[in-house]
Amino acid sequence: VYHVLKRMDAYPPDIFLDIHGDEELPVNFLAGAQGIPKWGKRMESLHGAFCAAYNRSNSDMQQSVGYTPVDPVKVVINTATKVIGTRFNCLASTLEMPFKDCATNPEPIRGWSPNRSRMLGASVLEPLLYIQPFLRVDESLLDFPERDAYVRPQHREFKYGKENEVLDY
């Protein structure tokens, strides 16, 4: 980690994307760096536009369910997303994928699969290209359309059936 951070210090990232699987939530979502000291209108606008563009590029993505952002007073900067977002003042997100099935686009026979993971990964390129011109501009120059507005995610519980299928999306 030390050497990677040193290299990142020499070549600061404009965006950081950490990729994980979430054992609990049966949806794909982007967990942002909400609550870090550098989170403000600029990062909120970029995060909103990135999430919205990703949602448009892949039907397995959604924006409303995720980790509820922590109050800035209570935020602990202990995840890669929050550390990198703070250190480099860049858009930083964690892509979370379900382990079972995707409630927004269920496939009862196969569930979430390696192929769907690959397709989700490939479809991130379009949203990255969409926001790339804005990653380092002053927040006064950010003027995304209303469809790209930030959506504050909310954690929620899901009910599962006998076959681990989501019953209540």
pLDDT of residue 134: 97
* CA gap 41, 140 in Å, rounded: 9
| pTM of structure | 0.92
Asked if 63 and 51 count as a contact pair (C-beta separation under 8 A), the reply is yes
Q: Is the pLDDT of residue 165 over 90?
A: no
Q: Per residue in 18-30, is it b (16+ CB within 10 Å) or e — as a string? A: eeeebeebbbbbb
Per-residue model confidence as pLDDT tens digits over 112-147: 999 999 999 999 999 999 999 999 999 999 999 999
* Range list of β-strands (E), the chain: 15-22, 29-32, 91-98
Structure tokens at 124: 């991130």
Query: What's the rounded mean pLDDT across residues 51-74?
Result: 94
List active site positions. 96
Per-residue model confidence as pLDDT tens digits over 27-47: 999 999 999 999 999 999 999
Q: Is the pLDDT of residue 169 over 70?
A: no
Asked if 106 and 62 count as a contact pair (C-beta separation under 8 A), the reply is no
